[in-house]
Amino acid sequence: MAAPDARRRLRARLTSGPLVIAPGIYDAYGARLTEMAGFEAVYMTGNGVSASLLGRADVGLIDLTLFAQHAHRAAAAVDIPLICDADTGYGNAVNVRRTVEEFESAGVAAIHLEDQVMPKKCGHIPGARPVVSLLEHARKIEAAVAARRDPDFLIIARTDAAAGHGLDEAIARVRAYRAAGADVIFVETKTSPTLLDDARRITASVDAPALVNVEEFGPLGKLTTAQLEELGFRLAIYPGLARYAAGFGIRAALEALRTEGSTMPVRDRMLSFQEYNDAIRLGEIVEWERRYLPPADQA
């Protein structure tokens, strides 16, 4: 794990070079596969963590300690920066101080904090989300910035106000959150006939790097990364990527075993034993044993 270097690289990339693409994962294994695929950042989704650890929906059931410990294992498995969903900060401005301390200690490069009322719900679940006052969340962002020890640890301010209060209110909020010290702004948007125009307004309205949340089965999922960059975004997260792909693959393998008595029909869609061992760095362990463990006849 190289957290300080990873944070510096991520901060620098938000203002130069092409769009930063962070595929969504929910565990260390997914983080390793993302790094091996050549991506320069990875995103840990609260929805995926809730599904992975609890088998439940993303409705605020995961607490800070559970998530931070899980994030620590993922951050330790890779050298690329890990961005994490930190929900509402798990409380008020006092709670968010510990939230920042825990994620920073875990080796995470960035967290996003949303202005939903607790208990939160995933932004892609249908319906508007109640939000706290602009002032309350702006103070929470100030508290988060004050709590960090590494100035390269990024605070991403998210608002869920657009669905219930309109885009003007959402933009006013992220402007205030930027003034409070947020490094990146994030407006959660829903299906809209003017979605592309809304995106351009968001990125042009705030002097800060803007994050876009790409739901594969939503309208933004139809856009390429080049098109997202043209809209002015600097960071794109794909929260559903791993959980959708893994769920599909696991279900297909289970169905083949149940109906055919073997996984042979889907073997071409499974990693080989060698590919799996490469992903979990088994070779490093073998080399470590060779260097430091005495031969069996001398042990």
**Residues designated catalytic:** 43, 58, 85, 87, 112, 114, 122, 158, 188, 213
Q: For residue 186, what are the contacts with CB-CB under 8 A and spacing of at least 6?
A: 112, 156, 157, 158, 159, 174, 210, 211, 213
What is the rounded distance in angstroms from the CA atom of residue 93 to the CA atom of residue 84? 18
What is the rounded distance in angstroms from the CA atom of residue 178 to the CA atom of residue 207? 8
**Burial of residue 82, with CB atoms counted within 10 A of its CB: 0-12 exposed, 13-18 middle, 19 or more buried:** buried
> Half-sphere exposure (CA, 13 Å, Cβ side) for 239?
22
**Burial of residue 125, with CB atoms counted within 10 A of its CB: 0-12 exposed, 13-18 middle, 19 or more buried:** exposed
Q: For residue 207, what are the contacts with CB-CB under 8 A and spacing of at least 6?
A: 178
Question: What is the DSSP code (8-state) at residue 135?
Answer: H
The token duo for 217 is 């089965």
Contact predicate 184/207, CB 8 Å: no
Residue that has been written with the tokens 């979990």 in this structure: 280
Contact predicate 251/227, CB 8 Å: no
Contact predicate 78/34, CB 8 Å: yes
What is the rounded distance in angstroms from the CA atom of residue 235 to the CA atom of residue 168? 22
